[in-house]
């Protein structure tokens, strides 16, 4: 972005770029707070117009009108919060800390507005007499539910408490995310000798060299806390001491007893969430959170997680014994530790399947994997992609494509931001600068994906691990959910669905990556251009469920600890709640294998404390039951691109947004409810006895 201040504020002027893209080059950090404050004031004025309307409430003058408020605020906020996640700095973080409670107060002023709720409530109570079609009826019901869940029916005193809780939570959540980013950005492990590089493949060395160069350490190598960097290092490094050092830095984010420590923030967040749930009449926050999901209750979530946990643990314990035996067989007199698992698992995979990551990565070039994801979308849904070099972007690494539809709709925009950098938070996600809608005209979506792959040296291709490639397909599945959206109202567009349904389109899309038809076409060697050999494809397929006990224990333990934490009543977290002790004891209660660490320890669990997955990390597995079952529909059809099946999938899932109850939507696509058997089979756990 430019450092020169442009007047008037470019965020508040009409955006004249194609597709209404933000004028990134004209925006400075000084523009954000004035623009946000002006946009919030305009939003409240729009709300006042609705509440001051003397006409009796109708769908058009209340719900449709409400849908059209806050457009300017949404535009400005989309730019600010996107940059806060992808290209932040000290100034942006300071604005974020100042802005978060103001935004929370602003939203509370609307959701707790008694006169506005009276109009919505009157329509809701009389909804059966309004003769609304299915979609507007769904929108009315969702608006009413959001008001109620925000506290619209509370007494005035409790509304004040609810607003205070929301503001304080916004502050704490912002600080939590910034603390994790500070620990990630502040860490580097410098490697400067051949001994330090022992075991690392050339691709990992190149990525570490590029990371060092970006930090001004030319001639050296740097391991960062980007997942693609750290996981690659602990998988291949022959230096056990350095693996331990790097791994402990990775799992200690937010837990170092310094100014970035998150233990106290978590205790405050959990307490405030329990207070919110109590005010609304729920026993605990999990009960409140899950009430608006497919799962409905903590008991139902426990049923799923427990069924998987015992099988996963049994498999993981067998895997542990096998790895311990392998270590000793090759003369390593060690007791297996968490920083050893990936290292020996990679050797085990090589021994069992003649397969290792070094052999696979040259075939998984980033550009080809992007092309593969696009090609599958073309075959399934009739969308095509044309790269644009001339459109504004918030960072030079961002790539932009026009998305064209086979039904004649105007094109949309997809952006991809693929490489890790210190100014970007870790992880991978999808978001939107603009969501699809039809209420104010044919508004086409502007969707973007963010990844954290290691950036290659100049002139070298970016090579992905298979997990990286899977992440790319996963996030592009989310992107398609936004790009294919075809609803009238923006509040139910794209990914605006329940948390345990939103992962279905993304996880389902992962399945196409591992299909031979896709890999044969796009998994081309970075040097020779030759396709991945059939023998390697077979070995890759044969190894699909290798180490699945480990990965399932990593994930499921995180989901169980999340659920138990948010099932605690207010009385148990109101004072002196020891987060570190809770984590230790919760893992002991489920008999967590000591050789495996939760995929996300609480102090850096961004999903829970800086995202929307509190009491809902189980959602990935809940959706996996559906995605495994849903891909079975294509297998049943005998064609992974079967036209009729893809048309049903598009109509009922990818384009439908939240137009329909998610369970009904899934049944409309599949013809029946999902079955857990497909998940267990897909993870290789169906034949495993529980422990």
* The pairing of beta strand 399-405 with beta strand 189-191: unpaired
Q: Which of 210, 357, 475, 564 is catalytic?
A: 475
Q: Is 251 exposed, middle or buried (0-12, 13-18, 19+ CB in 10 A)?
A: middle
Query: Tokens 């008991």 identify what position?
Result: 299
Residues with Cβ within 8 Å of 153's Cβ and at least 6 positions away in sequence, in order, are 117
Residues 314 and 556: beta-carbon distance below 8 Å: no
Task: For Cα atoms 343, 348, 352, give the angle at the middle one, nearest 5 degrees.
Answer: 155
Length of the chain: 691
Residues 383 and 377: beta-carbon distance below 8 Å: yes
Please tell me whether the peptide bond between 8 and the residue prior to it is cis, using omega within 30 degrees of 0: yes
DSSP 103-148: HHHHHHHHHT-HHHHHHHHHHHHTGGGS---HHHHHHHHHHHHHHH
Query: Any catalytic annotation for residue 475?
Result: yes
141: left (phi over 0), alpha (psi -120 to 50) or beta: alpha
The span from the CA of 209 to the CA of 457, in Å, is 8
- DSSP H or E run through 435: none
DSSP 39-74: HHHHHHHHHHHHHT--SPP-IIIIIIHHHTS-HHHH
Full 3-state SS string of 260-278: CCCHHHHHHHHHHHHHHHH
Structure tokens at 62: 């209340």
For residue 417, what are the β-bridge partners? Answer: 450
Residues with Cβ within 8 Å of 423's Cβ and at least 6 positions away in sequence, in order, are 86, 87, 88, 89, 185
The span from the CA of 618 to the CA of 299, in Å, is 12
The span from the CA of 116 to the CA of 66, in Å, is 10
Return the number of other C-beta atoms located less than 10 Å from residue 636's C-beta: 11
Angle between helices 579-589 and 548-566 (to 10 degrees): 130
For residue 463, what are the β-bridge partners? Answer: 365
Distance spanning both ends of the chain, measured CA to CA: 56
Task: For Cα atoms 363, 368, 372, give the angle at the middle one, nearest 5 degrees.
Answer: 110
- Residues annotated as catalytic are 475
């Amino acid at each position: 972005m430019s450092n020169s201040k442009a007047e008037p504020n470019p965020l508040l002027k009409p955006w004249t770029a194609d597709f209404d893209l933000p004028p990134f080059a004209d925006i400075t950090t000084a523009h954000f707070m004035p623009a946000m404050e002006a946009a919030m004031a305009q939003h409240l004025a729009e709300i006042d117009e609705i509440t001051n309307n003397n006409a009796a409430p109708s769908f058009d003058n209340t719900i449709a009108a409400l849908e059209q408020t806050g457009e300017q605020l949404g535009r400005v906020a989309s730019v600010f919060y996107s940059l806060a996640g992808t290209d932040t700095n000290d100034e942006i973080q300071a604005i974020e800390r100042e802005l978060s409670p103001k935004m929370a107060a602003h939203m509370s002023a609307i959701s707790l507005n008694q006169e506005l709720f009276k109009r919505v409530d009157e329509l809701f109570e009389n909804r059966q007499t309004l003769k609304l079609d299915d979609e507007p009826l769904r929108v009315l019901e969702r608006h009413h539910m959001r008001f109620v869940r925000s506290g619209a029916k509370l007494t005035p005193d409790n509304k004040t408490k609810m607003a205070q809780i929301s503001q304080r939570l916004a502050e704490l959540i912002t600080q939590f995310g910034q603390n994790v980013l500070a620990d990630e950005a502040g860490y580097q492990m410098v490697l400067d000798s051949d001994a330090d590089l022992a075991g690392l493949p050339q691709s990992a060395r190149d990525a570490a060299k590029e990371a060092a160069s970006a930090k001004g350490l030319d001639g050296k190598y740097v391991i960062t806390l980007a997942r693609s960097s750290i996981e690659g290092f602990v998988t291949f490094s022959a230096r056990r001491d350095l693996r331990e050092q790097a791994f402990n830095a990775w799992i200690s984010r937010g837990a170092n007893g310094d100014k970035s420590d998150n233990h106290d923030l978590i205790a405050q967040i959990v307490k405030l969430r329990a207070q919110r749930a109590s005010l609304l009449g729920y026993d605990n926050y999990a009960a409140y959170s899950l009430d608006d999901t497919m799962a409905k209750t903590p008991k139902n979530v426990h049923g799923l997680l427990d069924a998987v946990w015992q099988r996963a643990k049994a498999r993981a314990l067998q895997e542990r014994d096998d790895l311990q035996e392998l270590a000793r067989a090759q003369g390593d007199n060690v007791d297996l530790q968490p920083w050893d698992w990936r290292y020996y698992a990679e050797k085990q995979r090589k021994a069992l399947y003649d397969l290792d990551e070094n052999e696979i990565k040259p075939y998984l070039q980033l550009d080809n994997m992007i092309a593969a994801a696009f090609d599958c979308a073309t075959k399934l849904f009739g969308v095509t992609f044309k790269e644009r070099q001339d459109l504004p972007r918030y960072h030079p690494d961002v790539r932009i494509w026009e998305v064209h539809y086979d039904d004649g709709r105007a094109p949309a925009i997809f952006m991809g931001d693929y490489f890790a950098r210190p100014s970007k938070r870790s992880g991978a996600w999808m978001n939107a600068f603009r969501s699809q809608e039809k209420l104010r005209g044919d508004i086409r979506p502007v969707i973007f994906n963010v990844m954290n792959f290691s950036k290659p040296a100049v002139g070298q291709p970016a090579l992905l691990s298979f997990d990286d490639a899977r992440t790319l397909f996963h996030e592009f599945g989310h992107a398609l959910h936004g790009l294919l959206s075809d609803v009238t109202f923006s509040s139910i567009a794209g990914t605006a669905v329940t948390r345990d349904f939103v992962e279905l389109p993304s996880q389902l899309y992962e399945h196409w990556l591992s299909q031979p038809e896709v890999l044969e076409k796009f998994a081309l060697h970075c040097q020779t251009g030759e396709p991945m050999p059939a023998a390697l494809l077979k070995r890759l397929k044969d190894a699909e469920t290798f180490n699945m006990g480990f990965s399932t224990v990593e994930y499921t333990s995180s989901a169980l600890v999340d659920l138990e934490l948010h099932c605690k009543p207010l009385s148990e977290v109101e004072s002196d709640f020891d987060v570190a002790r809770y984590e230790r004891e919760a893992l002991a209660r489920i008999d967590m294998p000591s050789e495996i660490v939760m995929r996300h320890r609480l102090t850096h669990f961004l999903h829970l404390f800086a995202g929307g997955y509190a009491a809902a990390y189980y959602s990935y597995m809940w959706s996996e039951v559906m995605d495994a079952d849903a891909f079975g529909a294509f297998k049943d059809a005998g064609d992974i691109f079967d036209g009729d099946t893809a048309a049903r999938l598009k109509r009922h899932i990818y384009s439908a947004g939240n137009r329909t109850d998610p369970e009904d939507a899934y049944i409309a696509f599949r013809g029946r409810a999902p079955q857990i058997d497909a998940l267990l089979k897909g993870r290789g756990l169906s034949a495993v006895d529980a422990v």
